[in-house]
A and B are shown apart, each in its own frame.
Chain A
Amino acid sequence: MTILGALIPISVALGAFGLAAFVWCIRSGQFDDLEGDQHRALFDDD
């Protein structure tokens, strides 16, 4: 069970990594126009 001592911090660190990525997404404005981006994915040029 001592393995938990390592596993818990690892899982928390992975979660924190995900959270940091999410924060970065918000900061860089990727959630500002969900409506437009869903269509933009289908445009072939630009």
Chain B
Amino acid sequence: MPLDSRQASDKIDLLIPSLSCAGCMRKVEGKLVDAVGVLSARVNLTNRRVAVRFDPALTDAEVLIDMLGKIGYPARPLSRTDRNDPMAKQSRELLLRVGVSGFAAMNVMLLSIGVWSGADAAMRDLLHWASALIALPAMAYAGTPFFTSAWRALRAGSLNMDVPISLAIFLSAGNSVFETAMSGQHAYFDAGIMLIFFLLVGRYIEQMTRARARSSASELLAMTGRTTMRVFTNGDRQKIATADLMPGMQVAIAPGERIPADGRVVAGASDLDRSLITGESLPARAQPGTEVNAGTLNLSAEIIVEVTKAGDESLLAEIAGLVGAAERGRSRHDQLAERAAKLYAPSVHVLAALAFAGWLWVTGDGRLSIQISVAVLIITCPCALALAVPTVHTVATSRLFRGGIFLKDGGALERLCEVDTIVFDKTGTLTDGRPRLVDPLPDDHPAWPMIAALARASRHPYATALSEAASERGIVTADVQDITEIPGKGIVATLNDTEILLGRPSWVGASSGQVAFSLPDSDVVHSFSFAQSLRPQAAEVCETLRAKGYDLYILSGDHPDAVAEIAEATNIPKAKAELTPQAKHDFLKDLSAQGRSVLMVGDGLNDSPALAAAHVSMSPGSAADTTQSVSDIVFTGASLYPVLTALDVAATATRRARESIGIATLYNVIAVPVAVLGFVTPLIAALAMSGSSIVVTLNALRQRTLS
């Protein structure tokens, strides 16, 4: 849209984690552009951000964030450090190098065709010089990442993949210039520059996969800078940064807010949802004197909390510390490609050196010996190896992405493949964390409109379940007045001057159920009971997993009865209840000490140490931010099906990666003896290199069709 440059404008970048499809992109952009004061809005689907330009006089960031939240896209502003992302710059630079090397490779190849088709000596020299003119500057520019990495490794006294690569580039360039100057027959400019091109393509693909993982990490950074309402002793209130909280301060927590630090309730009474911290599925009462933990959600009424432990000392920080320790303790998994590289670099150097020494000894011709050892270095160069794993991971990642599964680390695919035991958390993972009404009244029952009206006024999970049940039945809420929520008891209101109640059975005057409704004046009482609702397909997914031979466990912080109910519903007999975060973590450690590879699936903060201790970890998108940051994989949607999908995709991907590495090895087994025996001409080197790279890439793409 046209932008008037005289108009004052402000720019903000928002992160929208749930942005994952074209439809979302359109909805978000459309909503923003139609809003008052917004000049332009552009979504970047790759890293789930939207850049908005707006007129600060007409609107501000909070209004926009609020608006997006209402249409189902919770957004967070990005911090300044995120915005000047050094990785984005690196990615552009890498693409530029791919472009330069691609341009040079194509042109040099064109000239080489002239040489191969049998140009006479003078023409060959001319073509070689033209090739040198294009290839040398391109090699110097595009090859820089390999040279610097190799130099760094050499200075640290080690070998990495980039050492043989750099050596091959340097030797082939030097040797080719020498041959050209001596009017020789073979120059390797084409092979050298093509090598760089293929390797850079592999690296670029890898970087794109990592860009997605990075956007999940940014979500964490965006969390800092939240505010809290501080209450002074004289009753004054002021918004302060959560990071500035000190023990002794008092803060007001409105219903719907999370408590920012550990503390004690000093005024007010409410119900607290502790599920994220402890895994308990039902709310706990809070009244003056109750100890509360950071991260607890306040449900029914405002409470004033005196902070006892803030920042580094709170339970939240303790859990974070446990997570850190577990992550450091996780034995570094040696990835397939790294293991291949470790074998690769030394053997290539030895081979090239042997070829040189052998030919020098047999023929005594130094020039020929160098040429042959350069041919060995070029032909063994790991184009196929460098492409094998990144291409497989990219295809797998995009398959997962389409299924709403976000992979934060390509290595997780390999680890996922080794899993033999799966541990589930209960609340929020196997169940969706919300109770479900099991004994509803008939749809046309006259009490429904009143129940719906009362239930809608509370955030208590039972009330939410009732209110959802009412809206499923299309109940129109009754017009009630004076709705009051009495924390720990229930909701009271009046309808035509009659009092109506919804709440605890004992308070309402009922003898059964978990919630009851009553009209005290006319002795009408209805009671309701609730059950935990499993995630859709949870039972089938568990059944399939068991059939595939995985050993399943449930670890929960909830009460034994609630755990037993779910253990039965999912048919997982190995269930443990009332576990602390530490106990969950220890259980995982024990399993891995027995030599098991464990996949942990959990959503709560209390799961995060266990998630970090597991071989691989998954979290639903509804999980706490800290939990998501610990997990290797985050999945969206209500169903538990992504667990199966991820395991399947990982199995295929790892099989493809192994095959690709196998193909690359087979290629070397055939090509190396040919090179050592001196049969490799620049034409053969070029064909072999592109041939193996293409085969490996096609093999990676095979994953798409096989699902």
Contact = CB atoms under 8 A, between A and B. Distances in A.
Given A31-B92, A31-B95, A32-B44, A19 B100 contact: yes
A6 interface: no
Interface in B82-123: 88, 92, 95-96, 99-100, 103, 106-107, 110-111, 114, 123
Contacts of A26: 92, 95-96, 99
A33 B43 CA distance: 9
Contact of B130 (A8, A36, A43): A8
A1 B107 CA distance: 19
Nearest to A15: B107
Contacts of B31: none
Contact of A32 (B21, B88, B99): B88
B134 interface: yes
B26 interface: yes
B25 interface: yes
Interface in A1-46: 1, 4, 8, 11-12, 15-16, 18-19, 22-23, 26, 31-36, 39-40, 42-43, 46
B45 interface: yes
Contact of A35 (B46, B107, B123): B46
12 contacts: A8-B130, A12-B130, A12-B134, A22-B103, A32-B44, A32-B46, A33-B46, A36-B44, A36-B45, A39-B45, A40-B25, A46-B1
B53 to A, nearest CB: 15
B350 interface: no
B61 interface: no
A19 B103 contact: yes
Contact of A18 (B26, B96, B103, B111): B103
B22 interface: yes
Contacts, number: 59
Interface of A: 1, 4, 8, 11-12, 15-16, 18-19, 22-23, 26, 31-36, 39-40, 42-43, 46
Main SS at interface, chain B = helix
Given A11-B107, A16-B103, A36 B96 contact: no
A35 B45 contact: yes
Nearest to A39: B22
A30 B525 CA distance: 65
Contacts of A34: 46, 208
Interface string B123-147: 1001100100010000000000000
Query: Sorted from nearest, which 4 A-B pairs have the closest CB atoms?
Result: A36-B45, A39-B22, A33-B44, A19-B103
A25 B208 CA distance: 17
Contact of B123 (A4, A11, A31): A4
B126 A36 contact: no
A43 B26 contact: yes
Contacts of A43: 26
A18 B594 CA distance: 59
Contacts of B111: 8
B395 to A, nearest CB: 14
A26 to B, nearest CB: 6
Nearest to B123: A1
A31 B106 CA distance: 21
A34 B100 CA distance: 20
A32 to B, nearest CB: 6
B402 to A, nearest CB: 11
Interface in B597-634: none
Contact of A19 (B99, B126, B127): B99
Given A4-B123, A18-B103, A33-B45, 10 more contacts: A11-B107, A16-B103, A19-B100, A26-B96, A36-B25, A36-B43, A36-B45, A36-B46, A39-B21, A43-B26
Contacts of A36: 22, 25, 43-46
A23 B92 CA distance: 10
Contacts of B26: 43
Nearest to A42: B22
Contacts of B126: 4
Interface in B341-387: none
A1 B25 CA distance: 57
A11 to B, nearest CB: 6
A15 B103 contact: yes
A19 B102 CA distance: 9
B99 A23 contact: yes
Nearest to B401: A35
